[in-house]
A and B are shown apart, each in its own frame.
Chain A
């Protein structure tokens, strides 16, 4: 112990002096330069999937590298045709969706893609025997049929405006899975798709090796191989990035910024729809008072959270629709810093008067509540503590509690919870279930039992109507009502940060969702990446 202390101190002096960890670079294994055009890209992430089968929730939102959906998304997250020759058509009543397949698409094993494969994929998701967690997202699908080998027809139970957004799901070959137990099929580890890469090998916990699909319908990838390294530990990932092992790696903001001064690297901070906030349950006697909720909304210092906890790579959040979305309502944006005086005035006016111990009380009830966070999530722990500290300044006592999800579950009706959600694709996707009173008290959907007629109507209008302008108006109403009621204390939108070698060309960041890993990360278009 006594021996190691000076050594460690020396380490820090050396590392900071030489520009954080530059020394580690001397152990960099020299990667043999391969001839131009025949190249391997190595990317690193912590987000390993449990399975590579889209039916079981792999790469549902497209960009899965191995599979294609009927539709895909471009760099602006706009829908473009995928396996479908053009965007599927929706009938006038909104209940029939027809897609025509592209000609000559082949699976990696040489089999031809037909409408049967598409129908099989969606039927598998809807099959109760299959442990697919996507089923509730495809609630509206009544049937999927393949009237001829090139046509797929979806019948919906009710019109659903953003239905085409759900068609990014990767298509699996029916003949390899038909009649099998999909939950445990060999296919889940060694999948066959139509995508730009086929799976060469997957060593769970270590790496996924992908090889270019020479017959990809969208054109052969510009590189030969992609290795996705799974490195759970952030520090190890950073160190190995520094050692030159990776071309790109996702890193926590604080670690990524350490690479910024070095010219051989480039740091990308990608905007997301991935928000964190506190769910404030109406079943809690203190939080049921809208004055408390509004005061909390004024008291939290979102700017300090972005600077102190996210290392500057985030944005203050005021609602569930990300500012990058065309549906975002600008009028709900408040002050990024805390407004303690306004919060205090609000509480005073509502009858919450400060007690002797600094905690406010109303009619003998102290302004006190429990804030739960999932114990394994460092970021949510940090945010929970920041909220606690901010609330204390206005006389509201918060008791943070780190728990496992199963311990959190039964208490969500009455205790606040630090939650995270968000997808950039359509405002209906998460918000409908999160804030519609129909889902009040149902699991993780609307655990705080928030009920507002205005919000219900707006959310329903948003999904029923196909006209973009009317949808936009509906979601504006929804966001304003939410900002007035504060059933959630929105804190920050994250930015996902990546470190890249400067030589990598063709990177095109796009707004990312809460869930990202192999699929849907910065390397969503890695098939076009080259080296300068």
Chain B
């Protein structure tokens, strides 16, 4: 990048602009998505069990922006509620994962030594388990339900958080201000609360945010396989699964619309999180690894 910018300095502002524009767009998308899903029950209430058998498979129009599905239900309307469920599951599951990961990573990072080695070996090994298989197993044994889906996502997604927290803590331990605090006679808890936490919390928040898209994908995958929420409830995975059958009868919108919603929203979250990470750690300037 350095050499290129040096060779073609004019490119620099050009290169930055789309980046910022992207972040702004992503921000707007997210604001609309979150506000829309939060306000939907007031502005645009949905009867989850309503059907209109005389209006099945209507193509998108001004009356039905996303068309209607096999049972005459408005696809766009249900997609809003599907997103609501997905974001809810995503956020709660990401929180569960963060708490578990934060605890394990925190213990490993603060205690260090043998505890750290053992814990990290365990994390490495669990990381070798295929998430989706493990998630399917958990759901199958708990019976498909909202709680089972959240458990399935939360219990399989805490590893990266644990790693991030642990490495952050370990690197802080070698920093001078921590040494200074310790030599200044501060107790372990005080060092942890006053000096370490403020540095770790933003990372933790970032990790949680980055987790949400994963949680959403995991949830939609389970629903798509018929292992998620009850099928008559609007969830993005359920809608794609229902829409699969409509593809052959020409009703492509029934699976396209919910899929597009997933893509746009998760992409927006990822773009914003990447910007956030760049701010947090300008040295790395990572290239958005989702």
Nearest-neighbor residue (CB-CB) of A9 within chain B? B252
A5 to B264, CA, bound (A): 13
Nearest-neighbor residue (CB-CB) of A403 within chain B? B230
Contacts of A254 in B (CB 8 A): 70, 245, 249
Determine how close the nearest CB of chain A comes to the CB of B29; give it in whole angstroms: 13
Partner of B232, one of A15, A239, A305, A402: A402
Determine how close the nearest CB of chain B comes to the CB of A481; give it in whole angstroms: 31
Q: With contacts A8-B256, A304-B53, A407-B143 known, is A258 near B248, CB below 8 A?
A: yes
Contacts of A388 in B (CB 8 A): 49-51
Q: Does A382 contact B (CB under 8 A)?
A: yes
Q: Does A363 contact B (CB under 8 A)?
A: no
Q: Does B144 contact A (CB under 8 A)?
A: yes
Determine how close the nearest CB of chain B comes to the CB of A261; give it in whole angstroms: 14
Q: Is the CB of B49 within 8 A of A402?
A: no
Determine how close the nearest CB of chain B comes to the CB of A410; give it in whole angstroms: 12
Partner of B250, one of A15, A238, A400, A401: A15
Contacts of B263 in A (CB 8 A): 1
Q: Is the CB of B71 within 8 A of A385?
A: yes
A162 to B128, CA, bound (A): 59
Q: Is the CB of B49 within 8 A of A389?
A: yes
Partner of B53, one of A234, A307, A376, A403: A307
Kindly identify, within residues 127 to 146 of chain B, every residue whose CB is under 8 Å from any CB belonging to chain A: 143-144
A164 to B72, CA, bound (A): 47
Q: Is the CB of B231 within 8 A of A1?
A: no
Q: Does A309 contact B (CB under 8 A)?
A: yes
Q: Does A532 contact B (CB under 8 A)?
A: no
Contacts of B70 in A (CB 8 A): 254, 382
Nearest-neighbor residue (CB-CB) of A372 within chain B? B230
Contacts of A402 in B (CB 8 A): 230-233
Q: Is the CB of A400 within 8 A of B247?
A: no
Nearest-neighbor residue (CB-CB) of A406 within chain B? B143
Determine how close the nearest CB of chain B comes to the CB of A398; give it in whole angstroms: 7
Partner of B49, one of A385, A403, A404: A385
Q: Is the CB of B49 within 8 A of A375?
A: no
Nearest-neighbor residue (CB-CB) of A389 within chain B? B51
A8 to B60, CA, bound (A): 14
A229 to B79, CA, bound (A): 36
Q: Is the CB of A381 within 8 A of B231?
A: yes
A107 to B139, CA, bound (A): 46
Kindly identify, within residues 8 to 46 of chain B, every residue whose CB is under 8 Å from any CB belonging to chain A: none
Q: Is the CB of B248 within 8 A of A235?
A: yes
Q: Is the CB of A389 within 8 A of B50?
A: yes
Determine how close the nearest CB of chain A comes to the CB of B121; give it in whole angstroms: 37
Q: Is the CB of B56 within 8 A of A308?
A: yes
Q: Does B226 contact A (CB under 8 A)?
A: yes
Q: What 9 new A-B contacts, CB under 8 Å, besides A20-B248, A235-B248, A401-B230?
A: A1-B263, A21-B248, A301-B53, A308-B53, A308-B56, A308-B71, A381-B231, A386-B71, A389-B49
Interface residues of A (CB under 8 A from B): 1, 5, 8-9, 11-12, 15-16, 20-21, 234-235, 238-239, 252, 254-255, 258, 301, 304-305, 307-309, 373, 375-376, 378, 381-382, 384-386, 388-389, 398-404, 406-407
9 contacts between A and B (CB under 8 A): A8-B256, A258-B248, A258-B249, A376-B226, A382-B71, A386-B51, A389-B49, A401-B230, A406-B143
Interface residues of B (CB under 8 A from A): 49-54, 56, 70-72, 143-144, 226, 230-233, 242, 244-245, 247-250, 252, 256, 259-260, 263-264
